[in-house]
Structure 1
Amino acid sequence: MIIAIVNTKAGVGKQLSVFLGLAAKWRGFSARISDLDRQGSCFSWAREATDREKGFPFAVISATATDIERLRFPEGVISIMDTPPGSPREIQSALDVADFIIIPTSPKPQDVARIIPTLDAIGDKPVGVLLTHVGFNSKLYIEARETIENWGVETFRSCIPEKVDIARGYGRVLQKLYGYDDVLSEIVNAFGDEDEL
C-alpha cells in the first residue's frame, strides 16, 4: 500500500510520516518512507535515531520525483511518501502512485482553508484529512471538523493532540505514538484486509 502525505501548507504535521511508519512497524507490517522534501526531515530523523539508538526499524530514503517514477513498491510494504509543500512535481509524482492520501492540517482556519488547493490537486483518489495539533475541547477543533465534513471530505475519527512530547520525539524511535497508531488502524479498516495492504 502506498500512502502519500500531502499539503500545500508547510509545518502542519511533518512528524506524521515517521509516526505512521512506526505504527505500521509495531503492528507487524514492513514499512518504508520516501522523503521527497529537500529539507529531508524524515531522513534526518532516521539518521539521528540510528546514531543515538543504534538503528532505525525501517528504511527511510531520500527521493526525488524522478526517483518515484522509477521506484518499485513491493506488495506487503506500507510505503509512505512525505511530500514538500510548494513542490508541484514532487507532490504530483506521489499522487500518481498513491493508493491513499492523507492531508494533515491544524484546526486553525487559515490552515483548514489551505486544504482546498490540495484537494484540487488530488482528484478522485481516496483521501482523508487528519487534524493535528488539536486541543480536544477547543472550539477551533469542532469548527474545523464541521467545515471539512461540510465540504464532503472524509476526516479521520482520530486526531493528534497538541503535545510537547510529540515534538520532543524527533530523532528517537518511540513506542508511544499519541494517536498515530489509531490513524493507521482506520486506514487498515477502510481497506478491509490487512493482507491486501
Structure 2
Amino acid sequence: MSGRILTVAQQKGGSGKTTIAAHLAVALAARSGEPVAILDVDPQGSLGTWYEAREDSLGEDNTGLEFRTASGWGARREARSLARSHGYVVIDTPPKADTDAKPAIDAADFVIVPIQPTPVDLWATSQTIEIAARENTPALMVLNRVPPRASLTGEMAAAILASGYDALTARLGNRTIFASAMGRGCSVTEEAPSSKAAQEVDLLIEELIARIG
C-alpha cells in the first residue's frame, strides 16, 4: 500500500489550514473506507488539540484516524512511513515557516492551499505555490471562509483563474458551525450532516478525489 499524502500549506496565517486538514481527513476516511492518518508539523499543535478533543468526544479507540506529530525534516520521513499503511495522510503545516513546511510539501503528492477571498491572501499564496513548484508538487487552491453574496468572491475567483494557479471550484463558506464542530473534535459532516456546511465539504471531497484519485 502506498497512500496519497496531502499537505495543507499556506504561508499566510488565518487561512483555516487546521480546519481544512481535519475536515479532509474525516471526510476521506468516511468516503474511501481506507485508513487515514493526520500529521501535525505545526508547533502550535492546533490539529493535535482538535484530535485530543476528538478522543474525549468519541473515545480513544473510536476516532477513525491515526495521529502523529513531527518537526522539520522528520515530517517527510513520518509522512512516507504513514503512507505505507494508510490510504491517505493529511499534514497540517505552520504558517510563515519555509523551513518547516518545505519537507512536508516535498513529501506530498498534492499540496492543498486554503485561501480567503481577498487580494492580500492571493498575493501571499504565491509564496506557497512557488515552494510547491520548486518541489515539483502539484498545488490545488481552495477558497475558504467565503462570505455569502460577496462580489469580491467572484472577483477573486476570476483573479485566481487569471493567475494560472490551479484551484478547485468547490468552496467552503464562512460559517460558525465549522468552529463549533472543531471545538468538539468533530467535523461538520459528523455533527450536522444535513447542513449547508456539510454539503460544501461533500462537494469539496468529491472534486478532490476526482482530481487526485
Normalised to the residue count of structure 1, the TM-score between the two structures is: 0.91
1:161-172 aligned at under 5 Å gives the runs: 161-170=173-182, 171-172=184-185
The one of 86, 92, 102 aligned to 1:82: 92
How many residue pairs were aligned?
A: 192
Moved over 6 A (4+): none
Tell me the SS of whatever aligns to 2:165.
coil
Distance in 1 (CA, whole Å) between partners of 2:162 and 2:103 is 29
Higher-RCO chain (CA-CA 8 Å, sequence separation at least 6): 1
Give per-residue Cα distances to partners, 1:49-85, cap 9 Å, x unaligned.
2113323220121211232232212165210111101
Cα distance change of structure 1 residues 108 and 65 upon mapping to structure 2, 3 Å threshold: same
**Structure 1: segments with no counterpart, 5+ residues:** 193-197
Tell me the SS of whatever aligns to 2:73.
helix
1:13-24 aligned at under 5 Å gives the runs: 13=16, 14-24=18-28
Kindly indicate whether residue 124 of structure 2 is the aligned counterpart of residue 114 of structure 1.
yes
Distance in 1 (CA, whole Å) between partners of 2:34 and 2:14 is 27
Give per-residue Cα distances to partners, 1:161-197, cap 9 Å, x unaligned.
11011111123323133522322221211234xxxxx
Counterpart position of 2:41: 36
Normalised to the residue count of structure 2, the TM-score between the two structures is: 0.84
Kindly indicate whether residue 51 of structure 2 is the aligned counterpart of residue 57 of structure 1.
no
Is the CA contact (8 Å cut-off) linking 1:65 and 1:93 kept in structure 2?
yes
Kindly indicate whether residue 10 of structure 2 is the aligned counterpart of residue 11 of structure 1.
no
- Aligned-residue sequence identity (percent) comes to 23
Kindly indicate whether residue 156 of structure 2 is the aligned counterpart of residue 152 of structure 1.
no
Shift of 1:90: 1.8
Is the CA contact (8 Å cut-off) linking 1:161 and 1:178 kept in structure 2?
no
Is the CA contact (8 Å cut-off) linking 1:16 and 1:180 kept in structure 2?
no
> Aligned-pair RMSD on alpha carbons?
1.6
Distance in 2 (CA, whole Å) between partners of 1:145 and 1:190 is 19
Structure showing the higher helix proportion among its residues: 2
Counterpart position of 1:105: 115
